[in-house]
């Protein structure tokens, strides 16, 4: 039977369902999204419909100022005749392009909030300072909702009678910097992400899934979806993602680069087994050398029909720890200063055509909950549009088998995050090994060698 699935049509149907739910006046909607599905674009369309067609006051909640700035840019440029209100503290330094938007209106206090149909954007922390017994808005949209713990959502949920919670359930769970043992048995506890808590309290709440990823290509989806989204099938929107080289591969580690050119969007590069702990200078050196070789071979990328040369600003490096980030940064040198290197937490919401990943379990003698976390690995492996190279020490699969989860669970909680992470890691490693995507690293690279490779 011929597969007649049309990704664009499926995406359009999903968007129409979301917009129709707002015409029907549903009190709450939970919209789950795979990586790069355009969830911020959906939030933008829901907000515009709310203010311009339903004559509502719409508030949009982001998790950070950077996300608020990005959404403000998009809304202000796509609706130039509509004032876009940014709710922020006085003295906040705005990016130049945001400050120069002609239809931007800054709001610093509650009395200045618009009383007419409008869109107001602010981060969750700023919204939480409002003290009122009456709703200030008609609709509340929460972007990246799976990163907002429920206790913070409860501080702002009264600001509007209707809610749309949009986010990616496969990302890193909300960070709570206090003891949560007393709520461990509560499936809708304050430490749980607000969409999960809402569904637990109100199982009949309307839920939709976005069916396609606009960022990930089909090869990546085949690896990512079974490992991290076993209960949420989705497909890739684009098939036109590729890389080619002007310079042929002659060095041993060119095999991993050539595998990406042949269509393998995720590749594992293994160094010899060794216990290194967090800091692994040899791995950082190998990663930077391969990155430099990618640039030295004069790579060209095709991204949805747009052909361009691969430059350092199109490359990202993601690590689990700050010490690993620093180890990579100090080896990059001036020629590769535009390579973006950060931890997985800070990489959420960011994408690059090419990614280099420091595997969180590499070089460790154990497998802790932090390093097994499925959300962290999912973020690491879903930031690229074209190709991703994962660097780690040999023996990760054996390490996983030695530290299989104990299955300890809190009373009344079926969900086991440690098992979920263990299963995701093992599923991914098996898929990479089974499809011939594991390549040995090259040893003995010195800083001077890396400099020559970078040209």
Per-residue model confidence (pLDDT) at position 418? 84
For residue 444, pLDDT over 50 is answered with no
For residue 36, pLDDT over 60 is answered with yes
pLDDT band at 224 (very low <50, low <70, confident <90, very high): very high
Model pTM greater than 0.85? yes
151-176 average pLDDT score: 92
pLDDT tens for 123-134 read 999 999 998 888
Task: Give the mean pLDDT of the chain.
Answer: 90
d(CA 323, CA 363): 14
Q: What percentage of the chain has pLDDT greater than the value 90?
A: 76
d(CA 77, CA 102): 9
Per-residue model confidence (pLDDT) at position 324? 96
Per-residue model confidence (pLDDT) at position 407? 64
For residue 28, pLDDT over 90 is answered with yes
Q: Other C-beta atoms within 10 Å of 206: how many?
A: 16
Every domain of the chain and the residues it spans: 7-211, 218-454
Per-residue model confidence (pLDDT) at position 430? 95
Q: Read off φ and ψ for residue 170, nearest 5 degrees.
A: -90, 0
22-47 average pLDDT score: 95
> Do the Cβ atoms of 39 and 143 come closer than 8 Å?
yes
d(CA 177, CA 161): 29
pLDDT tens for 393-405 read 999 999 999 887 7
> Do the Cβ atoms of 199 and 192 come closer than 8 Å?
no
d(CA 151, CA 128): 11
H and E: helices and strands count for the chain: 17, 19
Domain 7-211 and domain 218-454 have a common topology: yes
Per-residue model confidence (pLDDT) at position 186? 66
Per-residue model confidence (pLDDT) at position 267? 96
> Do the Cβ atoms of 438 and 268 come closer than 8 Å?
yes
307-315 average pLDDT score: 96
Nearest to 150 by CA among 183, 192, 108: 192
For residue 449, pLDDT over 60 is answered with no
For residue 446, pLDDT over 50 is answered with no
**Mean pLDDT lowest for which of 119-123, 154-158, 182-186, 434-438?**
182-186
Angle at 348 between CA 342 and CA 353, to 5 degrees: 75
pLDDT band at 2 (very low <50, low <70, confident <90, very high): very low
Q: Which fold has domain 218-454?
A: Rossmann fold (3.40.50)
Per-residue model confidence (pLDDT) at position 177? 72
Domain 7-211: give its CATH architecture. 3-Layer(aba) Sandwich (3.40)
> Do the Cβ atoms of 35 and 210 come closer than 8 Å?
no
85-103 average pLDDT score: 93
pLDDT tens for 59-74 read 999 999 999 999 999 9
């Amino acid at each position: 039977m011929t597969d007649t699935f049309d990704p664009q049509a499926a995406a359009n149907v999903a968007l129409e369902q979301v917009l129709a739910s707002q015409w029907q006046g549903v009190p709450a909607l939970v919209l789950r999204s795979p990586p790069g599905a355009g969830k911020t674009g959906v939030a933008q369309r829901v907000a515009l419909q709310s203010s311009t067609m339903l004559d509502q006051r719409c508030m949009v909640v982001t998790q950070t100022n950077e996300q608020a700035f990005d959404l403000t840019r998009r809304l202000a440029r796509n609706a130039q005749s509509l004032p876009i209100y940014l709710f922020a503290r006085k003295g906040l330094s705005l990016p130049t392009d945001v400050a120069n938007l002609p239809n931007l209106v800054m709001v610093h206090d509650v009395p200045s909030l618009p009383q007419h149909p409008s869109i107001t954007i602010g981060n969750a922390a700023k919204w939480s300072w409002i003290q009122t017994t009456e709703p200030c808005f008609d609709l509340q949209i929460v972007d990246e909702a799976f990163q907002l713990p429920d206790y913070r959502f409860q501080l702002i949920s009264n600001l509007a009678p209707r809610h749309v919670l949009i986010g990616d359930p496969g990302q890193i769970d909300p960070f709570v910097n206090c003891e949560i043992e007393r709520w461990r048995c509560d499936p809708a506890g304050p430490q749980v992400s607000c969409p999960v808590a809402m569904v637990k309290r109100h199982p009949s709440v309307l839920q939709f899934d976005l069916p396609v990823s606009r960022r990930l290509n089909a090869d990546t989806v085949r690896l990512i979806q079974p490992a991290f989204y076993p209960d949420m099938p989705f497909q890739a929107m684009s098939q036109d993602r590729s890389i080619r080289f002007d310079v042929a591969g002659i060095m041993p580690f060119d095999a991993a680069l050539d595998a990406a050119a042949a269509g393998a969007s995720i590749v594992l590069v293994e160094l010899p087994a060794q216990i290194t702990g967090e800091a692994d200078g040899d791995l950082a050196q190998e990663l930077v050398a391969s990155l430099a070789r990618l640039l030295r071979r004069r790579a060209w990328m095709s991204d949805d029909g747009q052909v361009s040369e691969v430059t350092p600003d199109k490359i990202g490096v993601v690590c689990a720890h700050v010490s690993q980030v620093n180890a990579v940064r100090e080896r990059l040198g001036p020629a590769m200063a535009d390579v973006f290197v950060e931890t997985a937490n800070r990489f959420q919401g960011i994408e690059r055509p090419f990614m280099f990943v420091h595997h969180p379990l590499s070089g460790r003698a154990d497998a802790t909950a932090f390093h097994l976390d499925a959300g962290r690995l999912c973020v690491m492996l879903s930031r690229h549009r074209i190709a991703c190279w994962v660097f780690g020490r040999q023996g990760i699969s054996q390490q996983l088998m030695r530290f299989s989860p104990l299955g300890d669970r809190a009373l009344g909680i079926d969900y086991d995050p440690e098992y979920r992470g263990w299963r995701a890691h093992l599923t991914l490693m098996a898929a990479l090994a089974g499809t011939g995507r594991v390549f040995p690293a090259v040893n003995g690279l010195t800083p001077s060698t890396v400099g020559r490779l970078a040209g």
